[in-house]
Structure 1
Amino acid sequence: MNFKISLAKKTLVFYSIIGLVISCASIYNLIWGVILHETPTYRIGVFSLFGFIVFPVLLISTYLKNKCVIDTDSVHIGKIKYRFSDYDFFITTYQLSFKDRPLFSIFKKDYFDFVIKETGTNNIVFQKDLDIFRKDIELIKRALPPGKIKYR
């Protein structure tokens, strides 16, 4: 079994929508504003001229950094491999007060963390906020072996 998911799926969806607008506007500004001089160039900067290159590169690097692959014997996050025999996996649930909630999920009460601890020493080697949908959290729970996932 090989299960792949991005641990920052909501962020990627949100920024890909914004990135489409920024990319179109930066291409327009570069071609018609700077090269052809048909419209005024309001601002010359990285996102106004080369946003169609910079923003997709940022999206791809965010995806690669948060890519999680669950195999039959290990979990790969980014370039690091965590074996089931050496690490314990936790999905922790916590609640935030209204003033501490992020702007884009202000009405959401429950937040989740994905925590990986060493088996012998209980040192936390990885902790990440799960910025994914609730359905994806259930898929992660089903993809990990039953004895290796713990809840808090």
Structure 2
Amino acid sequence: MNLKIGLAKKVLLFYSVIAPFIMFGSLYNLVEGVILHNTPSYRIGLFSLFGFIIMPLLLIVTYIKNKCIISREGVQIGKILYPFSDYHFSIRQKELPFKDRPLTSLWKKKYDELVITKINTGETVLEKDLDVFQKDIENIKKALVSNTPQSR
């Protein structure tokens, strides 16, 4: 079973909803405020002037860095492949206080994270927050179980 999934799906969805407003506002501020001097430019900063470039770039980079492919060989996150023969994969739940919760799901108390440990040493290599929906977490669990060498 091959599974391709973005580990930051909720974050990408949240920011893709507000990105058009930031992009339009920054482009308007740059053209009308700075270039044409028709309206006052209240804030001159990275997002107020170049948000129409930076915001889509941040969305693309977030997608690329959090793209996960679970295949027969192992789990690939971004460009790094973690083979099943060398690493152990588990999904752990953690409880976060309100001040540490992400904007995408403030009212949720328990959060899932993907934990990758090296089999030889038991060292934790990666702890990756799963900002995905519950159905996606179930799909990840199924893919991890069906692709491990013990289940083949």
Where in structure 1 are there 5+ consecutive unaligned residues?
A: none
Query: Tell me, what secondary structure is at the counterpart of 2:88?
Result: strand
| 1:145 counterpart residue number | 145
| Per-residue Cα deviation, 1:17-66 (whole angstroms, up to 9, x for no partner) | 22211101011111222222222222222111111001111111111111
Alignment TM-score, normalising by the size of structure 1? 0.87
| 1:81 counterpart residue number | 81
User: Offset of 1:15 from its aligned partner?
Assistant: 1.5
Query: Tell me, what secondary structure is at the counterpart of 1:144?
Result: helix
**Equivalent residues in 2 for 1:3-152 (5 A)?**
3-98=3-98, 100-146=100-146, 148=148
Where in structure 2 are there 5+ consecutive unaligned residues?
A: none
Q: Percent identity over the alignment?
A: 58
Separation (CA, whole Å) in 1 of partners of 2:26 and 2:103: 26
| Per-residue Cα deviation, 1:98-118 (whole angstroms, up to 9, x for no partner) | 555445423212211100111
- 1:135 partner letter: K
Query: Tell me, what secondary structure is at the counterpart of 1:32?
Result: helix
- 2:12 partner letter: L
Divergent runs of 4+, >6 A: none
Give aligned pairs, total. 149
Decide whether the 8 Å contact of 1:117 with 1:125 is kept in 2: yes
Alignment TM-score, normalising by the size of structure 2? 0.87
- Normalized per residue, the structure richer in helix is 2
| Structural RMSD (CA) | 2.0
